[in-house]
Amino acid sequence: MELKNYVLGKWTAGEGEGQALYNAITGAKIAETSSKGLDFGEMMDYAREVGAPTLRKMTFHERGRMLKALALHLISIKDKFYALSAQTGATKLDSWIDIEGGIGNLFTYASLRKQFPDETFYVDGETAPLSKGGSFIGQHICVPKQGVAIHINAFNFPIWGMLEKISVNLLAGVPAIVKPATVTCYLTELMVKEIIDTGILPEGSLQLICGSARGILDKVTSQDVVTFTGSASTGRMLKAHENIVNESVPFNMEADSLNCCVLGDDVNPGDIEFDIFIKEVQKEMTVKAGQKCTAIRRIIVPANKVEDVQIALGKRLAKTTLGDPSVEGVRMGSLAGLEQREEVKEKVLELSKSQEIVYGDLNHFDVVGADKEKGAFLAPILFLNDDPFTKTDCHNIEAFGPVSTIMPYKNIEEAIELAKMGKGSLVCSIITADDSIAKEFVMGAAANHGRILILNADCAKESTGHGSPMPMLTHGGPGRAGGGEEMGGKRGVMHYLQRTAVQGHPTSITKVTNVFQYGAAQTENDVHVFRKHFEELEIGETVFTQKRTITEGDIVNFANVSWDHFYAHTDVTSLDGTIFEERVAHGYFILSAAAGLFVDAKKGPVLLNYGLEECRFVKPVYAGATIGVRFTVKEKVDQEKRSEEDIAKGIVKFLVDVYDETGETVAIATILTMVKKLDQSK
């Protein structure tokens, strides 16, 4: 079978003889693939000129719904991927992480659309006042980059590696070219075929290179984004590419790292946390046969508990059945290929020069249901390093398989120092029942890690574990781990957006952002805003209310109704030494009184008050003051119908600007109202 590349809207075979791909369990040839003859520059132009404009015209909400539709389809046919995934050496659990974990990223980023406006761009942060009179302000906006995301992925997660990345760039409005590692690209190709066949993604949004992509970086520009997942040495080489440097191309690197797991000094054999520790380390050594960028490579243990850990971990590893994942009872499959197995063996031999193997053997182990010579099998290898501050190979050499090293520490300071000797990691974990130990470790080690897991009996049942990056949290790390970050919820989307500071008059900035800016022109109409449907309301439309004089009786009555008897509202004898001159009105009363002024009481399109944001009481209001309200349409947020029977509606944010007889603002807030649409079909 010949795998094809998806290029310029069609499936294309490479020229000449392709690279052979093999079943990791049996060694049998699966397929071959080639990318010879592909014009990478033409592919990028196609993405920029065909895919990118269509994606940029879509709003964040439309892109999110696109991801949701894709996720729903893929999860409905997930069984298609499991059979092929097994040929990579993956167990059912390994495949679940890759397949359903990858699709889960699509679901997560689809939901993330709700944190963005129903616009093609994003307004970022607060307005910056740039002048005394308020006629000159600044506001940051974020727009999609006008290039393409180039994803160069590792072999260990052929599906998750792709979906975790494209879910982010597609939500941002940027197309992608995916280059999976060739050794397992047959699984990526199957996934891309299913994605393309749905027709859900706009043409040009996704292209696939199954063979070599050598030379692709020669074609990138400053509007493109390159991501790389793999070895630190390869990543550094790509990051230093002349074109990456000259064009200032954003380059995100996620490199394999020497992650660690620390056992707190408070934990003893027999404790729940001790069992959690042993289970977590064993799991991270054997899931995906240790082929995870987040796998535990260094096991940092109190010196007086090294023997206990060695014995307990050895017993648990001995129960891990190695073999063909299709055979009942097999808990660990093979590495992804024979080449990977030989690389791991070489690293194990290097590590053996400075530390002792206390469990496992490179050559003598049993395999169930398969030939261990034909398949890429390797048994778990556990080292003991009795002097990790002197014998430092374990902090520099990574065997990318089921290999880890136990090392002792005397105190928490040493544990932190050992963790840092990895020179930057994607993740570390500490298992402790003492939160003060956890805090000291986190404060000491956080600068060297992208993620830290604190694990104890309270969270173990629901914990996603040491080695599981989550879409809403940053995945990446400093130093050896690459210095980049992926996912991270909204943060991840920002990597594909250009942040631009826009300066001008509030009216101009309002027009650009579709968000009312304080000081912008306000329009008043004969029809009250509460009498208008969602579509009929315009940004900047304002109701200038009648006015009301606040009395001392108002203050006393509100105190009695609310039970808020704070001294400044009720005890004039206690005001000495305070900022108040006399009995002051409750801030919440002023806001309530404002509502009485701006609300139109009749039944109409407004369905309910949805919430309150950014409420500030900026000037004291005393009895005798007269207040009025400038009630302005600030922003409109569309909402999608959950069902045909659902009411079509949107959220309207109103700026409530309460001012006194001097014209000065005394309170300001944003209220959210749910407003019915005129067109109930949308």
Provide the annotated active-site residues: 254, 293
Count of beta carbons in the 10 Å neighbourhood of residue 149: 26
**Cβ neighbours of residue 414 closer than 8 Å, sequence gap 6 or more:** none
The C-alpha atoms of residue 531 and residue 2 are separated, in whole angstroms, by 64
- β partners of residue 263: 431
Least Cα distance to 621 among 543, 669, 554, 671 occurs for 554
Q: 449-455 and 425-431: which strand pairing?
A: parallel
For residue 17, count other CB atoms closer than 10 A to its CB: 9
Give 90-93 contacts, CB < 8 A, sequence gap 24+: 90/288, 90/325, 90/333, 91/325, 91/330, 91/331, 91/332, 91/333, 92/325, 93/287
Tell me which residue has tokens 């469990």.
Answer: 359
For residues 486 and 474, is the Cβ–Cβ distance under 8 A? yes
Dihedral sign (CA 137, 138, 139, 143): positive
| Token reading at 602 | 């009749």
Whose CA is closest to 312, among 385, 263, 355, 356? 263
Which tokens in the block code for residue 164?
């975790």
DSSP one-letter string for 32-57: EE--TT--HHHHHHHIIIIIHHHHHH
Bridge partners of 128?
138
Strand partners, 409: 302
Whole-angstrom Cα distance, residue 37 to residue 314?
Answer: 51
Question: What is the C-alpha to C-alpha distance for residues 583 and 562, in angstroms, rounded to an integer?
Answer: 16
- 622 DSSP 8-state letter: B
Q: Which amino acid is at 605?
A: P
d(CA 645, CA 656): 33
- How far is C-alpha 32 from the geometric centre of its chain's CA atoms? 34
Contacts of 290 (CB under 8 A, 6+ apart): 284, 380, 400, 401, 402, 403, 404
**Helices of type H across 58-183:** 60-76, 79-86, 92-111, 160-172
The angle subtended at Cα 561 by Cα 560 and Cα 565, nearest 5°, is 45
Q: 68 Cβ partners below 8 Å, 6+ apart?
A: 106, 107, 110, 111
Q: For 272-296, what is the HEC assignment?
A: HHHHHHHHHHHHHHHHHHHCCCCCE
Contacts of 165 (CB under 8 A, 6+ apart): 149, 151, 153, 176, 178, 227, 486
